[in-house]
Every structure is written in structure tokens, then in C-alpha cells.
Chains A and B, each alone.
Chain A
Amino acid sequence: MNTNQQNIELIKACLKGTQSAFKTLYNEFKGYVYTICVRYGVAEHEVKDYMQIIFSEVFKSLSKYDPQKAQFKTWLSRITINQILQQKRKRKINYVEIDDASNSLIDSNHLEHIDIRIDENKIHEVLSKMPEKYISVFNLYIVDGYSHKEISKKLNIPENTSRTLLHRGRIWAIKMLKQHLGDNLMQFKNVL
């Protein structure tokens, strides 16, 4: 029995109302959801609230999950991201429109020296500190694979703003990685 089938069995048990199944499902995917929360810059003191909200929504929506359409992790990540963005919206994080001229600020020289063997936890730590205005677009585009069109709809911003924010996020990430990793950096050209 592969992982997806196990997940489906677990979901069926949840739908029957078995409490132990909910607990198992939570334990199975709490790390995944937590990782997404961290990536999207959810503060540590808020993580518990976010996790509760996300899993509450997941349990409620389990009956809507269609295994034919997507894997459970994909479905879960979408719910997680939507909930994170929704919560952030409620907390009034506004995106400032930036004109296209700001793209000229990209300086590829910033990306010259990054060690490819840097610890993934360090990357998470660095990315979680990314400014709010960049982090959603950065994660949505780079990690979660959304297009700028999708991002613009999700965040209710123009596509160009999404592109600009992504660029700035990249620059900020490289800059911060350089700062945090310092001497451990290898030649940036090996990466880019």
C-alpha cells in the first residue's frame, strides 16, 4: 500500500468520525504544514494559531477532497497557503504597488557567492525573515509554482507588481543568505 492509498484510508477513517484517525492525520502532516507556515513567514508565536486554523479547515473540508484530482499533499498545501494568506489579509498586510522601473534595482552581482551546500534549515530561517511584502510572492512563485497571473489573483495585486516583488524578494534572499552564511559561501556562479 503506497503512501497515497494510506492517506486515503486515513481520510476515510476521519470521515467515519474516528478520533484516532484525526490524530494520526495531524501527526502525519503537521511537519509539512508547519514548514509551509515558516516559509510564509508566520511568526513563531502565531504558528500554533495558524496550525489550528489550518487543520480545523482541513478536517472540515475532508469530504471535499477528491483523490482523482490531486494528491493529498497538494490539496493540503493549497488549503494551507490559502489559509495563511487569508489570515495575513485579515491582519492587514498591504502590498504596495511598485512600478516596473524598480526592476532595474536587480543586481546580479548580489548573487555571486552562495554556497550550494548550505543547510536547508538555514535557508528556511533566512526566508522566514523575508519582509512580508516579498515573502508571499516569493514562496508562491518559486516554491509552490504559481504563475504571476495566479499570484495576482490570489493576492489581488497587478501581475507586474508580483514580478517586481519576486525580484526584490530574490535580491533580499541572496543578500540575507550571504550575510548569514558568510565565509561558507562558494562561488555564486556555480549556482546561477
Chain B
Amino acid sequence: MKQHKFDEYIKQSAQKELETPDFLEWDNMDIPVPKKSWRPWMRPSVIALCVLSLSIIGVSLIYFNQQGNQSELNVFNENKTAQNSLYNTSNKSASDSKITEPIRDKIKTTRKKESNSKQNNNSKNPDAAIEKKSVKQSALKESRKQNSKTAVINTDDIFVSTKTMIAQNETLSEYPILNKTNVYNSVVTNKNINVSNEIDFVESEALNTIAGNPNTLSAIYKTDDVSVNQELLVNQDLLARQDDLVNLDVPAREDELDNQETVNQQVNLSRSDAIKTLKTIYPSSITVKNAEVNPSFVVQSNRPELPKLRAPEKNFSLFVSAGFINSTQLLANTADNSLQNNLSAAWGSHFNGGIEIKLPSNFFTQIGIHYTQLHSVFNYEKHLGIELNQDTGERVRLTRCIHQNNYTQMLGLRLAIGKEIKLFDKFSNAALIAVNPSYILQHEGKLLDQNSDIASVELNHLSSQINIPVSLNYRLTYAMNNSTQIYSEFGYQLSMNKVNYNLDKLYAYRDSGVLINLGLKRSF
């Protein structure tokens, strides 16, 4: 009982608060104050905003990219129809006839006439036919003796190379030897091929390539005696396809047919490879002459009127840029300038990304996201007093030197509109105004308050964490190619806000500075 009373007495006495000594005053303490934590809804909101922005940009890019591809596909589909009609003679469709039928008809007619005259000649002079056969056979034999870079090509052959898209005529005496270089760099055409006292005159012109696909190499040849060098076909992408040839209703003697088969077997060796890589063949014109036997005839150019294969106009670009911004804080409403006198501008960083959409009259607009880190430096020397050094008797002035980096980080949207003017050749310039609604992520540092005390710059001093910097920019662009551009951007950015640095007064806070960006733009 007595113990209990004693305990109660001690408890009551001990719970009375003592007076705290001066050294425990707040200013003398160094207690770390936790920074403001993200509100629960803030982080997911900012992440959702970023993801939404990126999703919109991504979907837009994919959509417009597909639109562009679709228009290109439409053009190529039309061309493919034309191609197919030229070469897939076994796959006849309604569209085939547009291009091939006129050619085929003319050639058939010519060949019939030719064969008739041949038959007549042969019937008149069967020895001549035999002689012709022997010459052809010898030609084949000799061609086989050639190295792999050559080919023997009989009459009525058309060789096309799109490498240079230039037609060349060559006069081949007796055996048209196709040189590798000729095939690779030029169109090779046989002309005046003299076999068994006949003069078969074949002429062809170079054909076009598909625009934007300079590697497409194509060839047309048609023959009843064809020898094509396989290596040539493979290595040089010279494409050959027997099926593509115009069928000839040429009655031939059995021995001639045998020779033809021999030669065609040689062609067949390369056919599969050729078909695999066959892409495009555009005959420009075909002229067939048989000066002696038949009156010369000309197959007029029946080149399809293909739409121009100009790349569709690229109205959408994806851009990214990074750079620096040199900003200065400026506070209004202050009795003196002490607040900003100790602040100096420093280079912060600046990142942009988004899509640029072309508008009529060379105007364009930009939609994207940006991240900006504003940076300023607080330098201050606080005089602490004068102390006497008892050893030396000297008076020592005590000074506290403060060097503090102040940062403000912003994340937000980039909305801009501008006008582009072409300068010359690959250069163009543009002026644009950008509005960047931003959320301030970080705002910290130090400065002097009105009482010349060092005050902390904190996020909660801002009246609002939403800020809307506005910038006027000049952009100089260099086009590396049709779709890729690099640019540098110079601008002046201004943002306004309200702050309360000394906890009892709101200041108008202005952060302004120049920015320099380097960027890359890719058009779709």
C-alpha cells in the first residue's frame, strides 16, 4: 500500500514537464524533415498520363504509317497487276490482256508469217534448214565452252537490266555472247544476229524499275532457242522465265524442236531461281525485224501507263530532342532584390518527344511530352562574427559559405504550332510557339528570405504544382534524306507561378531562360 502511494507520488511528480534548455530550440537542432510524399493518387495519375500520351502517339503513328503504306500498296498493286499480265501467261486473268495481248498478238502474227516463210524456204531448200540446225548446234556447243560468265542468246531475245535503265543495242556477230558486265550495267540487246544465213533483228529497250527499288533487276527474253547463263542469273539477279515468254506458234521440224528442247533445258536450270527472285519486268518497246525473210515489223511500245511512283507525302513525323535550358528565377513583390541577387542561372536539361503533323500552308503542329529540369545556383556568404585567436592574437572573421543547387523538375505535355519555310536545298527553318502544361515534380533548394535568413525552397511553397511554361522557338532543319531530319532549336521559355518562400507572403515567381535543343525527326 505504502509502495503504491510512493509510486503514485513519483509518477505525478515525474510527469510534470521540465523546461527545455536553449540548446534544444528548433533552430539549433538539425532534425531532418521528411520531404513531401506523393499523394496516393498522384503517382498513378502521372504514370497514367504518360502512358496515355505515349499510347496516343504510338497509335497515331501506327495508324498513319499504315495509311501511308496502304497508299503505296495501292500503287504497287496496280503495277503488280501489270507485271502479272506480262509474265504470268499461264495465269491469265482479265487484267492480263491489257498489256500482253497486243504484244502477243503482234508477235504471233509476225511469227506465223515468219514460220510460213520458213516453211516455204525449207520446202524450197531443205538443205538450208539442215545447215541452220547445224549452225545452231555449233553455236550451242561453243557457248558451252564459254566460261560461266557468258551466255549464248539466240534471236528474239530481250535482255533487260534496270541497273542503269539505259537501253543499249549491241551487234553480235554469229553468237550473241552476253557479257556479265553488260548485263549488270546495261541493257543488253541482241541485234543483227546472223544465224544460218538469216538475219534476225531483235531490239529491245531498257525497262523501268519500280521507283524506289533500284535493286530490281529484270529481264525479258523470248526465244525458241535460249541459253542463259545460270550464274549470271543468280549473281546479277537477271531474271528469266520461260513461262513469261510469248508463246509462238511456230511449226518447226522435229530436229529443230529437239534443239530447242536442249536449249530450253538449259534455261530450266535457272528458271526456279529466277522465278523466286522475279520482281518486275517492264517492257518499254519490242521491235522485231526479219529483214530478209519477212517484212520488218515493229511491235509498238505498249508500255502501261503506270501511275507515278512518287512516295506519298509524309505528313507525320516522330520527333525527339534533347538540350539545355538556362533559366533565371525572378521574384516580384520583394522589398529588395536580395532574394534573386544570390541566385544565378545554370544549365538545366530539357527533353521532348512526340509527333509532328503537317498542316496546310506549311504550318505544322506538335503534340508530345516533355521533361524539363530548371537549374539555378544559390551562392551566399553569411557573416558569423569576429573571433579572436588567442594563440596568435589575430582577429578572425567567421563566414559561412553556401553553395546550393536549386532544381525544379517538370513533366508535361508539349503542344506547339509553327510555320516552316524552306531555305535552300535540304535546309528549312521554322518558327514555333510551344505551350507546355506541366506538373512540377520537384522544387527544392535554398535562397534568402526577406530577413536575410536562408530559406528552403520546397515543393509545398508553390501555390500550385501545375505550371504552364510558354516558349518561342526558332528551328533550323537539315534533311538527311526523304524521311529523316535533324534539327536544332533555339528558344526563350517563360513560366510563372506563385511561391511562398518565407511562409508568410506570396511572391510572383518567374522562371525564364533560353533553351537549346538538338533533335531528330523521322517522317512517316
Contacts and interface: CB of A to CB of B under 8 A. Distances in A.
B29 A52 contact: yes
B393 interface: no
A173 B6 CA distance: 10
Interface stretch (B15-23, B97-105, B285-293): B15-23
B34 interface: yes
A120 B10 CA distance: 9
Given A34-B18, A123-B14, A142-B10, A27 B459 contact: no
B17 A116 contact: no
Interface string A20-50: 1011001100111011001100000001100
16 contacts: A17-B37, A19-B460, A31-B19, A31-B20, A32-B17, A34-B18, A34-B24, A52-B29, A59-B31, A120-B16, A127-B10, A127-B14, A139-B14, A142-B10, A192-B2, A192-B3
Contacts of B15: 35, 143
A35 B16 CA distance: 8
A56 interface: yes
Nearest to A177: B10
Contacts of A18: 460
B394 interface: no
B26 interface: yes
Interface residues of B, number: 36
A19 B17 contact: no
A19 B14 contact: no
Contact of B503 (A19, A39, A121, A139): A19
Given A123-B14, A143-B10, 20 more contacts: A16-B36, A17-B34, A17-B36, A17-B459, A19-B458, A30-B26, A31-B19, A34-B20, A35-B14, A35-B18, A48-B28, A51-B24, A52-B29, A55-B29, A55-B31, A59-B32, A59-B33, A118-B13, A127-B10, A191-B6
A38 B13 CA distance: 13
Contacts of B26: 23, 26-27, 30
User: Which 7 A-B pairs give the minimum distances between C-beta atoms?
Assistant: A192-B2, A17-B36, A31-B17, A123-B13, A17-B460, A120-B13, A142-B7
A141 B6 CA distance: 12
Nearest to B35: A17
Contact of B32 (A17, A27, A56, A141): A56
A36 to B, nearest CB: 9
Contacts of B5: 191-192
Contact of B30 (A20, A52, A121, A141): A52
B253 interface: no
A111 interface: yes
A42 B26 CA distance: 19
A192 B5 CA distance: 6
A108 B2 CA distance: 9
Contact of A38 (B18, B31, B32): B18
A139 B32 CA distance: 29
Contacts of B1: 192
Nearest to A57: B31
A173 B29 contact: no
B164 interface: no
Contacts of B28: 48
B11 interface: yes
Contacts of B17: 31-32, 34-35
B9 A116 contact: yes
A118 B456 CA distance: 47
A15 B37 CA distance: 8
A16 B458 CA distance: 12
A92 interface: no
B6 A39 contact: no
Contact of A59 (B18, B30, B34, B456): B34
A31 B26 CA distance: 12
A30 B458 contact: no
Contacts of A59: 31-34
A114 B14 CA distance: 16
A189 B3 CA distance: 11
A69 interface: no
Contacts of A35: 14-18
Interface string A151-174: 000000000000000000010011
B11 A170 contact: no
Nearest to B10: A142
A191 B14 contact: no
A124 interface: yes
A17 B503 CA distance: 13
Given A59-B34, A123-B14, A139-B14, A192 B6 contact: yes
A23 to B, nearest CB: 5
A35 B7 CA distance: 18
Interface in A89-148: 108, 111, 114, 116, 118, 120-121, 123-124, 127, 139, 141-143
Nearest to B36: A17
B33 A19 contact: yes
A64 interface: no
Contacts of A121: 18
Nearest to A116: B9
A116 B13 CA distance: 10
A30 B21 CA distance: 10
A47 B10 contact: no
Contacts of B33: 19, 22, 59
Contacts of A23: 26
Contact of B460 (A16, A26, A143): A16
B213 to A, nearest CB: 62
A11 to B, nearest CB: 13
B29 A31 contact: no
A169 B26 CA distance: 34
B18 A60 contact: no
Nearest to B16: A120
